Each structure stands twice: as C-alpha cells, then as structure tokens.
Amino acid sequence: MIAISLLEKYGAIIKTFKNSDTIFEEGKQPTHYYQIISGEIKMNNYNDEGKEFIQGIFYENQCFGEPPLFIDQVYPANAVAVIDSELIIITKNKFFELLENNAEISLNIIKNLSQRLYYKSVMAAEISSQDPEHRVLRLIDYSIAQLNFKKEAAGFLINLTRQQIADLTGLRVETVIRAIKSLEKKGDLKIINRKVYR
C-alpha cells in the first residue's frame, strides 16, 4: 500500500512472525503502522463462549490495523499470523510524519479504508439477514473479487478452509460444510478432492 522505500526513509523496520504468532491484541493501544511484505494475517475476535470471528484476512502489500491509530482508540480485534509472515512496521509518530510530508498517500489511505468499509457493509447485510448458503456464496464471491485467488481450469480456487469460512460468516463449520455440499449440488460451485472452486 505504501512504497517500502518510502517507509524505510521514515525508519521502518522489518519483523518476522511465525504461524499463529500474535502481532497485536484486542484492547491494546496502537503504536505502529503495519504492512505485509509476505505472508497472511487475520484479524479476529473471540466471543464469551470462545467462538472465533474473523474480521478479515490480509495478504501481501496490504496494511491492517490503522483505523484505531487514526481515532486514538484501542484495537477492536487481535492480529494473528496465519502462516509465517514478514511485516514492515513504523511507529505511529513516524507514520504521521510520513503522511504530512506526502499528501498523495492520504488519498490511497482513503481509498483503502473505503474499500474495507464497503466490504463490511456488504457482509453486514449478508450476515444479518440471509440464509447460510447465500452467506457462504457471497463471501466466496467477495473474496474472489478482493483477494488474490488463482483462476484454474475448474474455476477460482477458494483458498479458505471451511472453518475460516465459518468464522468469517458467523456460521458453524458443520453448517458451512452442508451449505457448500448443497451449493455444489445446485451447480453454484465445484468440489474437487475437498477443494472448493467457483
């Protein structure tokens, strides 16, 4: 999202995280700007019963966790590495300095926040008021549009486990499995040795 060379001018450092390492925790004060060089990061919450909800999954060149930085609030969710990942990070102060000196970056940030707000709006309506099959299909379609899924002969390979789809849509994994089966029967997607294609 922000050029690595520019970040480095402002003292950015590169940090590596192993699979399932925590980058920051819900309720903590934000101190840095984070951008992914390589890997995969999820933001999540756990409810009172320990059920996970995934706010979003982020991939290379994407940033995450900035909103609380701008509005001086604590993190609304945790950030956890899904696979081994390399992040470039700079301190809050340096980040704001960078912004002030590079006016054109602001528009990028606005666009990025707008994109994420758009996703949340669409998914909020879906999650709250549609049947499971519809929710799963909409998440899949949205993920294809936004994320870097590979197009193969059978269609786009949906690079999400059923558990992840469950946690992204607020459903239970058994419900997702049954919904995906049913969607396959209807011809809305394909299952080839357990992998989902659309």
Residues found near its own copies in the complex (CB under 8 A): 45, 47-48, 51, 53, 55, 66-71, 73, 76-77, 99, 103, 106-107, 109-111, 113-118, 120-125, 127-130, 134, 169-170
Nearer to DNA, 35 or 169 (CB): 169
Shortest distance (Å) from residue 100 CB to its own copies:
9
How many C-beta atoms surround the C-beta of residue 102 within 10 A? Answer: 15
Strand positions, DSSP E, 59-141: 63-64, 78-91
Q: From CA 164, how far away is CA 14, in angstroms rounded?
A: 28
The 13-42 contact track toward DNA, x by CB under 7 A, reads ------x-----------------------
Nearer to its own copies, 166 or 197 (CB): 166
Nearer to its own copies, 36 or 43 (CB): 43
Is residue 126 a contact partner of residue 135, using CB atoms and an 8 Å limit? Answer: yes
Nearer to DNA, 104 or 131 (CB): 131
Q: From CA 16, how far away is CA 21, in angstroms rounded?
A: 10
Amino acid, res. 51: K
Nearer to its own copies, 130 or 159 (CB): 130
Of DNA, its own copies, none, which one sits near residue 71, judging by CB under 5 to 8 A according to partner kind? its own copies
Contacting DNA within 143-172 (CB under 7 A) = 161-163, 170-172
Of DNA, its own copies, none, which one sits near residue 177, judging by CB under 5 to 8 A according to partner kind? DNA
- Residue 76 neighbours by CB under 8 Å, 6+ apart: 26, 45, 55, 68
Assess 185 for contact with DNA (CB under 7 A).
no
Reduce the secondary structure of 124-157 to three states and give it as a string: HHHHHHCCHHHHHHHHHHHHHHHCCCCEECCEEE
Residue written as token pair 């590495």: 81
